Structure formats: C-alpha cells, structure tokens
Amino acid sequence: MHSKNEIEDVPVEDWRIFGEIMAELFGEVDKLFNDGATHLFYGVSTYSKVGSLSSLAHVCNLLELIRVAADESQEPTISTLLTRQLVETYGVGVCLLLGGGPSAEKYLGNAKRMHEKAIAEREVMIVEGVIPPDSPEIPAETAFDGIATAKWNFTQSLMDAGKLLNDHDLTVGGLHLSGQLYGPLSNRLGAHPTPYVLDRYFTLPGLTTRFARIPEFKGSNFESPIEVKLNFIRSLLLSLIFTRATVHHFGLDTFEVDNLLTKFSELTANAADRRRRSTT
C-alpha cells in the first residue's frame, strides 16, 4: 500500500495521467468478467464469489464517477461521498472474495435484518398514521430464506478486508485503511459525531458557537479542486488492489494487473518527486 503522503504529493495537474491506468484497468476487468472461470450461478452457496464480482463491478462504476467529478472540478462533498462508498464496497467485496461463506452469511444476514426492519417500520408508520394503509408494500425476499440475521459493520469489514489481504500476501498496510482513509472521509462528511465533526461548530474552545448550513471542511488539502483529484488517485489504487486480488483468487494470470500496479507506483513516485524538486 502506498503511503498517504506519497499520493498526496502528486501535483494536481498530473492527475489525468492516472486516467490511462483506469482505462487499462477496465479492460482487465472486462476480460475477468468474460472469463469462463467467473461465470457463476447466483445463489446463497455461491454468493461469496458472485457478490465479490458484483462488488468489483460497482467499484469500477464508482471509480468512473469519481473521475468525472475530478474532471469537472466538482466541489468535494460529492467526490468524498462517492469515494467513501467505493471504500465501503471495496471492503465488502474483499471480505466476500477472501472470507468466503462466513462473510457471505454475515453480509446477507445484515441485508435480511435491514429488510425485516423496513417491513416492521412500515407497519408502525401505518398504525401511527404517518403513511396510508394502501401505501406500497415491501415485497417478501425469498433469497434470505435460511439466513440468520446479523450485523455488518463497515469499519470492521475494512479491518477484516485488510487482514485477509495481508494473510493472502496480496498487499501490505491494508489493516490501516480504515483509520487512514475511511475514517477521515466519514469525518469530512460529518457522518459520525466525533469531536473532529462537532468542533467545527466552535470558534475557539470555551467561546461562542457558530453555525452554517454546510459546515466547513477541515483537514489537509481538503480544498477543491485538489481533494477531488486525490480522491480519484486513492480510489484508483484501491480498485487496482481489489482487481488484483480477484484475478488471483480465481486462479487467472495476474501479469497485466501487476504491470498496472507497477505503473501506478512509478507514476506516483515520479510525480511526487517532480513536485518536491520544484519546491526546493
């Protein structure tokens, strides 16, 4: 895993060179989906592999949206939201890919829990007059038959994903992903009531509070257009790692994806080196 500082040292104007790697990556993912080894029937018994492939497809779609956000220099809220969803999907996908049946049971168990919760909440809202009795019903889901309810925690899934990757010698540093990327992304969105989030409403400790409809973003380099470019580069690296793990897990040749990871490393190092030389 590349260090956070190394990626963030890439000059903003160099971000588009990584788009070429993304295009080549999508080509490798297309080949992966067209390979006979990945043609699976959907079912509970095969969900770990089917779900991991679906996760990879979703990661690629999100990566393209993050690139578009960077290209159009959108303000960082959209980019951060997309990047956080990509990280969550990456964590789920790696757990399903390498964690097998137990991870699939936990993931489907959480989906069943949320489905049952939605049905129960609809009934309560009808009784309390919040919605009319003839409001659309939530259909029963037979795919969850025989699945026990469970809780799926995204932060824990990222820790589990990192450990699984490390145990399979597919990458290093994965255990730190949650603290170094997912947590900061969530904080920037104000998703969790941590002191980092709540402190933005104070001018200084012990002094008056302030309020704005859209709280200010804090953090290193969290300014448009810098952050949206960095989000794309970070997301590309995670997508490369996930693709490499998937290709390896299905017993296919990893040569081309390994080359893309090497190219990514070289581009990152060279771009960061140019930036450091230009500032000395």
pLDDT tens track for 175-219: 777 778 888 888 777 777 777 677 777 776 666 666 666 555 554
Residue 200 forms part of a structural domain: no
pLDDT, tens digit, for every residue of 8-26? 666 656 677 889 999 999 9
Q: Quote the CA–CA distance of 159 and 171 in Å, as a whole number.
A: 13
b/e sequence 100-130, b meaning 16+ C-beta within 10 Å: eeebbbbbbbbbbbebeeeeeebeeeeeeee
Residue 203 forms part of a structural domain: no
Residue 186 forms part of a structural domain: yes
pLDDT, tens digit, for every residue of 143-184? 778 889 999 888 889 999 999 999 888 876 677 777 788 888
Tokens of 240: 């490369």
Please state the domain count of the chain.
Answer: 1
Residue 262 forms part of a structural domain: yes
Residue 206 forms part of a structural domain: no
What pTM, to 2 d.p., does this model score? 0.84
Residue 217 forms part of a structural domain: no
Rounded mean pLDDT of 64-78? Answer: 82
